[in-house]
Amino acid sequence: MRVDIISIFPEYFAPLGVSLIGKARDRGILDIRLHQLRDWTHDVHRTVDDTPYGGGPGMVMKPEPWAEAIDAVVASGAAEPGGEAARPRLIVPTPSGRRFTQQVALEYAGEPWLLFAPARYEGIDARVIAEYGESLRADEVSIGDYVLAGGEAAVLVIVEAVARLLPGVLGNAASVTDDSFAPGAMESLLEGPVYTKPPVWRGHEVPPILLSGHHAAIARWRRDQALRRTVRNRPDLAAGLDPGELGEHDREVLDEAWRAVRSEESVESAG
Ligand code: 6GU
């Protein structure tokens, strides 16, 4: 997969040289190219922002440097062997975008070429999306309900979530299908706790069932833990579980977990 990132802070992306992604790049699975947006300005101050039409606080990123940068990146693809018709998928991280989820990560992992346009300030002039929306299938995405100072950190998050889905990036292919949010895998349950040696550490024991060698009982225990943790930490996900997909034992574990949460809530409100 080819990934281009245009930013006024290309140095922000140094972590993409480390660990899993660094190795994927060394192995040729990922081809990440960084670009300085200011290289496509033409004034001595290399200006990329200006005041918003209609007034209001902050600054807006000017459309011209973005368009020149995007055009140059797109043209560089056509210049590569066999790339005459190639066009990247344009991804614009913004808190006003659609939510980035595991489903979206899987969608992006199926693309051969991604182009990220992270904004600073109050955002990019909306005509840039209007210009490239159709031809580059532009997508505005948010990584969650909070506001960052810019889209760069969101690009790191998205690239990591996508890269680990690419064939050959993870050592163990099962790791991906077991993910908490993998579609179809365990109907959106959070993963339960995990343990390794030693069997007793600072007086804390590993749950004995995990040392029992009873594979079916271990699988049942893990599912119970996943159900409980989902109720506790993500009641929104737990509430959305399809009772038709659950066994009788699942429903009992869920009912008990909901009762525990409610009794804690009533203690809190009484206290
Ligand atoms: Cl993609 N950008 C910014 N600036 N803030 C965010 C975000 C993106 N996603 C959540 N908050």
243 included as an active-site residue: no
Residue 75 has pLDDT above 50, yes or no: yes
Q: Are residues 167 and 227 in the same domain?
A: no
Q: Is residue 194, in this structure, part of any structural domain at all?
A: yes
Ligand 1 contact, 148 CB (< 6 A): yes
Q: Are residues 100 and 211 in the same domain?
A: no
Domains in the chain, number: 2
Atom of ligand 1 nearest to the CA of 93: 1
Look up tokens 């972590």; give the residue: 15
140 included as an active-site residue: no
Residues 28-37 have a mean pLDDT of 97
Atom of ligand 1 nearest to the CA of 154: 1
Atom of ligand 1 nearest to the CA of 119: 4
For 218-254, write each residue's pLDDT tens digit: 999 999 999 999 999 999 999 999 989 999 999 999 9
Report which DSSP code applies to 247. Answer: -
Which one has a higher pLDDT value, 80 or 2? 2
Q: What is the mean pLDDT of the chain?
A: 94
Residue 186 has pLDDT above 50, yes or no: no
Q: Are residues 141 and 203 in the same domain?
A: no
CA atoms within 13 A on the CB side of 58: 12
Ligand 1 contact, 85 CB (< 6 A): no
Q: Is residue 178, in this structure, part of any structural domain at all?
A: no
Q: Final residue of a domain: which of 138, 173, 208? A: 173
179 included as an active-site residue: yes
3-state SS of 105-174 is: HHHHHCCCEEEECCCCCCCECCHHHHHHCCCCCCEEEECCCCCCCCCHHHHHHHHHHHHCCCCCCCCCCH
- Residue 74's alpha-carbon distances to 68, 115, 123, 124, in angstroms, are 10, 9, 22, 19
CATH number for position 213: 1.10.1270.20
Q: How far apart are the CA of 143 and the centre of ligand 1, in A? A: 6
Q: Are residues 122 and 251 in the same domain?
A: no
Ligand 1 contact, 93 CB (< 6 A): yes
Structural domain range at position 169: 2-173
Q: How far apart are the CA of 95 and the centre of ligand 1, in A? A: 4
68 included as an active-site residue: no
Ligand 1 contact, 151 CB (< 6 A): yes
pLDDT tier at 82, thresholds 50, 70, 90: confident
Q: Is residue 73, in this structure, part of any structural domain at all?
A: yes
Ligand 1 contact, 188 CB (< 6 A): no
Report which DSSP code applies to 124. Answer: B
pLDDT tier at 81, thresholds 50, 70, 90: confident
Q: Final residue of a domain: which of 141, 173, 205? A: 173
Residues 176-197 have a mean pLDDT of 80
Residues 121-139 have a mean pLDDT of 97
